[in-house]
Structure 1
Amino acid sequence: MMNEATIGRFTWDGIEYEIDWPFELDDESTRSDYGVIYRDGEQVGEVCVKFGEAFETKDDVIDAAIEAIMAGEVDDA
Structure 2
Amino acid sequence: MTPSWRKPVGAFAIIALIVIWCVAVASLSATVGQWPVLIQLVFYVFTGIVWILPLKPLLRWMETGRWRLPDA
Is this a same-fold pair by TM over 0.5?
no
Structure with greater helix share of residues: 2
The structure that has the greater radius of gyration is: 2
Higher RCO, 1 vs 2 (CA within 8 Å, ≥6 residues apart): 2
Structure richer in strand, relative to its length: 1
TM-score computed with the length of structure 2 as normaliser = 0.28
